Amino acid sequence: MAKHLARVAKTANGAGLSRWIRNLSSVASPSAKTMDSTSSIDLEGEYTMPKMLTEVPGPRSRQLFLELSDIQNCGSVNFFGDYKLSKGNYIVDVDGNIILDFFMQIASISLGYNHPALLEVLRNKENAEVFVNRPALGMFPPGDYPQRLRQALLSIAPQEMTQVYTMGCGSCGNEFAFKLIWAWYMSVKRHGNPPTVQELESCINNQAPGSPPLSVLSFKGSMHGRTMAAMNCTHSRWQVKLDNPGLDWPIAKWPELKYPLEEFVAENQAEEEACLATVEELIADHTKSGRNVAAILVEPVQAEGGDHHASPAFFRGLQQITEKYGMAFMVDEVQTGLGATGKLWCHEHWDLPTPPDVVSFGKKMGLGGFFYKDKLRIKEAGRIFNTWVGDPAKVLLLETVVKVIQEQNLIEHCRNTGEVLQEGIKDLEKRFPGQICNARGLATFAAADMKDTETRDGTIRELRNRGIQIGHCGPTSLRFRPSLIAQPKHIHIFLDGLERLLTEQRQ
Amino acid sequence: MAKHLARVAKTANGAGLSRWIRNLSSVASPSAKTMDSTSSIDLEGEYTMPKMLTEVPGPRSRQLFLELSDIQNCGSVNFFGDYKLSKGNYIVDVDGNIILDFFMQIASISLGYNHPALLEVLRNKENAEVFVNRPALGMFPPGDYPQRLRQALLSIAPQEMTQVYTMGCGSCGNEFAFKLIWAWYMSVKRHGNPPTVQELESCINNQAPGSPPLSVLSFKGSMHGRTMAAMNCTHSRWQVKLDNPGLDWPIAKWPELKYPLEEFVAENQAEEEACLATVEELIADHTKSGRNVAAILVEPVQAEGGDHHASPAFFRGLQQITEKYGMAFMVDEVQTGLGATGKLWCHEHWDLPTPPDVVSFGKKMGLGGFFYKDKLRIKEAGRIFNTWVGDPAKVLLLETVVKVIQEQNLIEHCRNTGEVLQEGIKDLEKRFPGQICNARGLATFAAADMKDTETRDGTIRELRNRGIQIGHCGPTSLRFRPSLIAQPKHIHIFLDGLERLLTEQRQ
């Protein structure tokens, strides 16, 4: 079985280790401000360094693992957390280990653990009713909901996006964004006329013309979620896919760029252009057989797949293709959104002539959903709808997260911290050749590769036993996802720990 | 357009108004206990009756509607709620109207508004961290999570179900249940052997054999959610379906029973047997062409589709078919679960020889998910997984809901209250022939029909203007979904209001 896994992992993620690495100079600001901004970011009572009492998982975690195993297959559990004691950038486990967390619940915690501003939301008695009365937002929203959507969501909307829907999670954000896109695509085909009786009747039984064979184009190595439509756009790991029926939707090759970029400018440009050409071919093929492709869906960085980057020019090329064929350009910012890449939204790095048509979100936002341009607005009521359509409690928390990000300039802070992180990794790359390579990233949204899966997995386990939690992605990548309040002092603890381990591994 | 709607509604919901109506005597307990149990259910500060200051939506709601319309199509919004002032069985809107709520946010509020036990969960400072630190439950669950799952979920699990997964919403519960079922189905086909390399590799690209053309059989008129797989099992309204690609999955006819049951015993039995035969034919057809049907999916009452009932014998027949063909029998209890039908789970009314294989939940549970039998347990880690896999904050609230239900005997209470509700509706049916008919239901999970869509919609609007909120479903049905803490006194206010309106409509 292990053999299968390794083999498939290789197939799914491509053979090459070379990646496009963003030129840091355009992202990082002068670091003069770092000290000012970080001083206010310090959390009272945060631990000063990791402190380990047991290996991880420790005896208490192992006992709880057995208890949870009675109820469900929980084989992916790493350890059990003590979220009362966790604070800021440190997670504490049930065995009392204090661990610097550079994975942050799969990149879904923005302000670290138990941030005082969020605890204050809970302590405010006025807010209790928001948490205990979950309304059906599509029918009976609370009176303050338009204002809350404006403060928590529209205040951080990508440019030109005045429209937003909230959903429960990132997958649902993507699923409902597809529904919006398909509705828009067919509305254009109908020249704005209402649907026909035949369409309204046939769709009830999953039949054309009401249920047309539309699709969304996705990329090899991508990860967009696990519900059916989202999963059909996901091509990262067999665990997401095996035994689920598959849809014949176009899957394009993701560019495999050679590193270092400056040595392979012409080759990399050619690779990206070849991929763009394949995208056009796939669209033509599908259209020819009557299966129109309504959207191109893309992650700004293929995170789960292995932190695969592509150049801004590639994304601009994708957008041009969508414009040429009357498709939607949809960017999945579930993992990249809300600042960790040094911009609020990662696609802001691309200098697009006009923003994407749809941008979906999840994770750090605390709930799922999507922003979209006016032109995609749906005419008929009740088509983007379910019982909850999001959760006012999560929007309330997000409002505070956004306020803290703005007040503390956390995105600029993140660029500065990311500079320290990335220069540190690059330095290790130089000093430990053959052990760590392909340092890459945008601000603190960073990664590096090791020589093989076994070494990578062992490194993550051993780092954790020494009090540093990072993630993995793709077959050989170390995934770094500090919170937005990580500071250079945290980066140095991490770099020191990694350096010590690499030194030992070399011996 | 309105013509289209009416026409499609007819098609989707069947022409017949007759329904199977549950024999109340087997459901209702002696009502001697009613007074004892309801006295403790009274909420301090609950309003004593509706009080209307404006029509609904009032001027403030209309203003907010315009504001929300700037941000999204919110055409399905009825009015804006004031959830601070709402209490128990009464929702207060932003115009200060006090409305008796017998719809309860699409049947998703169990204990009414601002229940003191739930407010206490929020007031307890120890709980704050549960709401501000949302973990990736599949990787780093909190130490108390196994215990919480036991208290909040396994304590109310259907018989023989020791396994549960939580998800964000009902749709995701269904989607992931399908994934579990498909994995189990293929595991049986592999005789427990591990998947082949070819399977592991092909699934990444949505290709067979790793992505086999499996399906789930659903019924005309059903509603299982709006994400793609759930939506493909949904056949209620075009708003859920139009312009979304459809999968060729089997859709069986739902029995149209004649009313009153006691007059049409033979005909109704024949109708159900004919439907069961069609189910077997559909399975045979699909299997013949290599598209195996892995499960039968059914709602105990087709709620959204029009509160369509079927007899226990029909459900037992479906289960027998799944056993005959090695399929899973999955019951979607998203709307029927947690007591409103007079049993914790509606399928407990059916006297099944063994429980269903999978039971999904949502709405009143406060989060989605599904219970399942041991035999469906998945072997490999990470296959039923996403970033959040539920939400400990919702499980914490559910734990309190379950405690209140148990302490206050709310299910028995619900049977007693339901008796008052259903006898009242039947009485109106007798006294207002031609105006209201087909009173039906289980405990307080009840419905009745009116002569056409226009009359039904007008009745709901007018009742609301008089301070009584109910729902609609199907083309002509009034949908009654009081909370579990509704008492006979609330039922009488509702019945009086409806009677007065029916009297006026007759004149």
Q: Which of B132, B172, B386, B479 to mutate to test the interface with A (most CBs of A within 10 A)?
A: B132
Q: For chain A, percent helix, then strand, then coil, each to nearest 5?
A: 45, 15, 40
- Alpha-carbon gap, residue A203 to A209, rounded angstroms: 7
| Per-residue pLDDT at B1 | 33
Number of cross-chain residue pairs from A and B with Cβ atoms under 8 Å apart: 455
Cα B199 off chain centre by = 36
Q: What is the DSSP-derived secondary structure letter of residue A154? A: G
In a domain, B35, yes or no: no
Cα–Cα distance measured from residue B123 to residue B29, given in angstroms and rounded to the nearest whole number: 37
User: For chain B, first and last CA: distance in Å?
Assistant: 31
- A-chain CB neighbours of B237 within 8 Å are 204, 382
Q: Do B373 and B227 share a structural domain?
A: yes
Helices B116-123 & B392-407, crossing angle to 10 degrees?
140
pLDDT at A11: 32
Instruction: Spell out the alpha helix ranges (H) of B264-391.
Output: 265-288, 312-325
Q: Indicate if B73 and B221 belong to the same structural domain.
A: no
Comparing CB atoms, the residue among B4, B72, B248 nearest residue A200 is: B4
- Residue B152 belongs to some domain of the structure: no
Q: A118 CA to chain B: closest CA distance, Å?
A: 6
Instruction: State how far the Cα of A19 lies from the Cα of A258, in Å rounded to an integer.
Output: 6
What is chain A's Cα-based Rg?
A: 23
Q: What is the C-alpha separation between B233 and B173, in angstroms, rounded?
A: 14
Tokens representing A103? 């994975």
> How far is residue B216's CA from residue B234's CA, in Å, rounded to a whole number?
11
Are A148 and A395 a contacting pair, CB within 8 Å? yes
The answer to whether position A127 is within a domain reads no
**Cα separation of the two ends of chain A:** 31
Q: For B124, which residue in chain A has the nearest alpha carbon?
A: A123
Pick among A1, A8, A150, A206 to test the B interface (most B CBs inside 10 A): A206
The answer to whether residues B62 and B92 belong to one domain is: yes
10 Å CB burial of residue B22 (0-12, 13-18, 19+) is: buried
Average pLDDT of chain A to the nearest whole number? 92
Nearest CB to A172 within list B83, B169, B244: B169
Same domain for A77 and A198? Answer: no
| DSSP bridge pairs for B478 | B448, B472
User: Minimal Cα–Cα distance from B354 to chain A, Å?
Assistant: 20
Dmax of chain A from CA atoms? Answer: 74
ipTM of this complex: 0.92
CA–CA min distance B499, chain A (Å):
26
Cβ separation of B201 and A11 shorter than 8 Å? yes
B279 neighbors B225 (Cβ within 8 angstroms): no
Tracing tokens 């109910």 back to the chain, one arrives at B470
Task: Report CB contact under 8 Å: A131, B132.
Answer: no
Contact B243 A212 (CB under 8 A): yes
Closest by Cβ to B73, choosing from A68, A133, A377: A377
Contact (CB<8Å) B138/A74 = yes
Q: List all residues 6 or more positions away from B459 whose beta carbon is below 8 Å from its beta carbon.
A: B450, B478, B501, B505
Upstream peptide bond of A488 is cis (omega within 30 degrees of 0): no
Q: Give me B490's structure tokens.
A: 């609330």
Contacts of range B350-355, beta carbons closer than 8 Å, 24 or more positions apart: B350/B300, B350/B312, B350/B315, B350/B316, B351/B312, B351/B316, B352/B315, B352/B316, B352/B319, B353/B316, B353/B319, B354/B160, B354/B319, B355/B158, B355/B159, B355/B160, B355/B161
Q: Where among B358, B373, B406 does a domain terminate?
A: B406
Residue of A nearest to B291 (CA): A245
End position of a domain, from candidates A390, A413, A445: A390
CB contact under 8 A, A200 and B242: yes
Which among B391, B406, B421 is the end of a domain?
A: B406
Same-domain check for residues A107 and A139: no
Cα of A186 to nearest chain B Cα, Å: 7
Residue B507: its pLDDT value, please? 81
CB B161 within 8 A of CB B359: yes
Asked if the structure places residue B23 within a domain, the reply is: no
Match 């051993």 to its residue by tokens. A462
Q: How much is the pLDDT for A47?
A: 98
CATH, residue A461: 3.90.1150.10
Using CB atoms, pick whichever of B83, B197, B386 lies closest to residue A7: B197
Helix (H, G, I), strand (E, B) or coil at A102: coil
- CB nearest B175 (choices: A79, A187, A227): A227
CB of B441 closer than 8 Å to CB of B22: yes
Contacts of A216 in chain B (CB under 8 A): none
**Distant-in-sequence, close-in-space partners of B120: CB < 8 Å, separation ≥ 6:** B400
| CB-CB under 8 Å, A132 with B119 | yes
Taking 3-state DSSP, the helix, strand and coil percentages for chain B, each rounded to the nearest 5, stand at 45, 15, 40
pLDDT at B4: 35
Beta strands in A322-436 (DSSP E): 328-332, 358-361, 368-372
Give pLDDT < 50 ranges for chain A: 1-38
Question: Which residue intervals of A116-254 are DSSP H helices?
Answer: 116-123, 128-132, 145-152, 170-189, 197-204, 228-232, 238-241
| Interchain proximity A169–B203, CB inside 8 Å | no
For chain A, the domain total comes to 2
Contacts of A259 (CB under 8 A, 6+ apart): A17, A18, A19, A20, A21, A438
Strand partners, B333: none
What are the DSSP E strand ranges found in B71-127? 81-87, 90-93, 98-101
Looking at the partner chain, which of B168, B201, B227 has a beta carbon nearest the beta carbon of A8?
B201
> Residues A407, A203: contact at Cβ < 8 Å?
no
HEC states along A204-243? HCCCCCCCCCCEEEEECCCCCCCCHHHHHCCCCCHHHHCC
Query: Is there a contact between B53 and B96 (Cβ–Cβ < 8 Å)?
Result: yes
A167: in domain: yes
CA angle A21, A26, A28 (to 5 degrees): 95
Alpha carbons B264 and A480: distance in angstroms, whole number: 68
B468 contact partners, CB below 8 Å, separation of at least 6: B50, B99, B100, B102, B493, B494, B497, B498
The pLDDT, as a whole number, for residue B3 is: 41
Give the pLDDT score at B31: 39
DSSP bridge partners of B219: B252
Residue B235 carries which DSSP code? -
Residue written as token pair 């427990």: B192
A241 shares a domain with A154: yes
Distance from CA of A408 to the nearest CA of B (A): 19
For the record, the structure tokens of A344 come out as 């609020």
Contact B195 A238 (CB under 8 A): yes
Q: What is the pLDDT along chain B (507 residues), one digit of tens a residue?
A: 334 333 333 333 332 222 222 222 233 333 333 444 445 799 999 999 999 999 999 999 999 999 999 999 999 999 999 999 999 999 999 999 999 999 999 999 999 999 999 999 999 999 999 999 999 999 999 999 999 999 999 999 999 999 999 999 999 999 999 999 999 999 999 998 999 999 999 999 999 999 999 999 999 999 999 999 999 999 999 999 999 999 999 999 999 987 666 677 889 899 999 999 999 999 999 999 999 999 999 999 999 999 999 999 999 999 999 999 999 999 999 999 999 999 999 999 999 999 999 999 999 999 999 999 999 999 999 999 999 999 999 999 999 999 999 999 999 999 999 999 999 999 999 999 999 999 999 999 999 999 999 999 999 999 999 999 999 999 999 999 999 999 999 999 999 999 999 999 998
Look at residue B477 and give its three-state secondary structure: strand
Q: What is the pLDDT of residues A357-381, one digit of tens each?
A: 999 999 999 999 999 999 999 999 9
Q: Between A392-407 and A116-123, two packed helices, what is the crossing angle to 10 degrees?
A: 140
Do A195 and A309 lie in one domain? The reply is: yes
Provide the 3-class DSSP secondary structure of residue A451: coil
Distance CA B51, CA A115 (A): 42
Among residues B485, B494, B420, the alpha carbon closest in space to that of B46 is found at B485
Contact call for residues B14 and B401 (beta carbons, < 8 A): no
Dist. CA A111–CA A94, nearest whole Å: 22
For residue B435, give the nearest of B484, B478, B372 by alpha carbon. B478
The HSE-up count of residue B303 (CA atoms within 13 Å, CB side) is 26
- Both B402 and B434 in one domain: the answer is no
Determine the residue of chain A that is closest to B220 in CA distance.
A205
* Containing structural domain, residue A302: 135-390
| In a domain? residue A395 | no
Q: Determine, yes or no, domain membership for A229.
A: yes
Nearest to B129 among A83, A226, A386 (CB): A83
- With CB atoms and an 8 Å threshold, state whether A176 touches B232: no
DSSP state of B195: P
Of B164, B243, B383, B469, which to mutate for an interface test with A (greatest number of A Cβ within 10 Å)?
B243
Whether residue B396 is found in the same domain as residue B429:
no
Looking at the structure, do residues B423 and B282 belong to the same domain, yes or no?
no
B338 and B474 housed in the same domain: no
Indicate whether A176 and A211 sit together in one domain: yes
Min Cα–Cα distance to chain A from B496, Å: 25
Question: Distance of CA B91 to CAs A72, A368, B44, B110, B263, Å?
Answer: 38, 27, 15, 14, 41
Rounded to a whole number of angstroms, the distance from the CA of B427 to the nearest CA of chain A is 31
Q: Is there a contact between A68 and B238 if contact means CB atoms under 8 Å apart?
A: no
Residue B57 lies in a domain: yes
Q: What percent of chain A has pLDDT over 90?
A: 89
R_g of chain B computed on alpha carbons? 23
Alpha-carbon distance of A21 to A310, in angstroms, equals: 8
Residue with tokens 């490999």: B380
The C-alpha of B355 sits at a distance from chain A's nearest C-alpha, in angstroms, of: 18
Q: CATH no. for residue B265? A: 3.40.640.10
Sheet arrangement for strand A477-480 = A437-442, A445-449, A477-480, A471-473
Whether omega before A260 lies within 30 degrees of 0, making that bond cis, reads yes
Distance from B276 to chain A by nearest Cα, in Å?
A: 19
Peptide bond into B260 cis (omega under 30): yes
